[in-house]
Amino acid sequence: MITPYFRITQDASFVEVLIKARHVKITADSEPEICIDGHEFKFYCKPYYLRLNFSHELIEDGRETAAYDDGYFRIKVPKANPGEEFLDLDLLTKLLTVRGKTEAKPPSIEIITDKLNGLSTNSGNLEDEENEVLEDDEIDWHIDQQPVTHDGDEDDDPTNVSIKKPMYGFGHLRSGVFKTLKEELDDVVDLKNVDGVDEEMRRKMRTDVEDAAFDEEHYLADLYERGAIDELIAFAPDWLSNDSQKVEFTDDEKEVMMKLPHRDYLLSEADLRHTYLGLVDILYAYAYDH
């Protein structure tokens, strides 16, 4: 089955789910199925399947509506408690995650690919997906959803690593990346032979490079010649200059998020710490660029 592209909006009383389903075939025998159960919203119309988990509860009380027009389902569902602000409606992969899964213990087996009930959970050839049928009359609402994944990219394969080599990257799952890009990275990465030294040595090499490159006169110039610095400090990024003080993802950006791989990883406590610190690096770099 295919996880469709979708967009969610809300007002004080309703959550509206807009589902892009251009290849659906509406017949008397294949009407869409919609189920609302507390935090969960479930939708199925061959070949599309969608399960969303919201931060607050929805309710079925007769006010819910659904319409199909020009390749889109527009479904309005009442909020159980009118006035509640549903959170993170633009974080698509979070909405697709099974509720409570982030609170569970780490998996004992790392999932590389999924085949459940004979159904592919990846978005592949559309004609093949449309020809697939469910084994039972009832829908298995707990099929693990997978947005579109990269196809055949070795760098995205968590198993493509060697435990004998120094590891780095997300969850310490990468090795040997820099040796194949040496010529391209010489002017970008200060450290040499990254693939041949362990983490402690890399840290020492980094601090040595930073100490050698430190220039007191550079910072003195910034202190007394502030023209360029004052201009940078006064700069207002888009999210501050926007009248609404709210930035929304475009449809293209949402489609990119839908294509991000969605996997479970075996991460130790030490790996989790590195991963969170890496997230801080990304956020800092993004803020610095703006």
Q: Is the pLDDT of residue 96 over 80?
A: yes
pLDDT at 283: 92
Could you report the per-residue pLDDT of 114-140, keeping only the tens digit for each? 444 333 334 433 334 334 434 444 566
CA atoms within 13 A on the CB side of 279: 6
Query: The domain 6-131 is classified under which CATH number: 1.10.599.10, 2.60.40.790, 1.10.357.10, 3.10.310.70?
Result: 2.60.40.790
Q: Where in the chain is the domain with CATH 2.60.40.790?
A: 6-131
Could you report the per-residue pLDDT of 215-248, keeping only the tens digit for each? 888 888 777 877 777 887 888 777 676 665 666 7
Q: Spell out the residues 6+ positions from residue 25 whose beta carbon is closer than 8 angstroms to its own.
A: 46
Q: Specify whether the backbone of 117 is left (phi greater than 0), alpha (psi in -120 to 50) or beta.
A: left
Pairing status of strand 6-10 against strand 65-69? unpaired
Instruction: Name the residue with tokens 């449309």.
Output: 130
Which residues are registered as beta bridge partners of 69?
72
Confidence label for 177 from pLDDT (cuts 50, 70 and 90): confident
Token pair in block for residue 196? 């041949």
Q: What is the CA radius of gyration of the chain?
A: 24
Mean pLDDT, all residues of the chain: 75
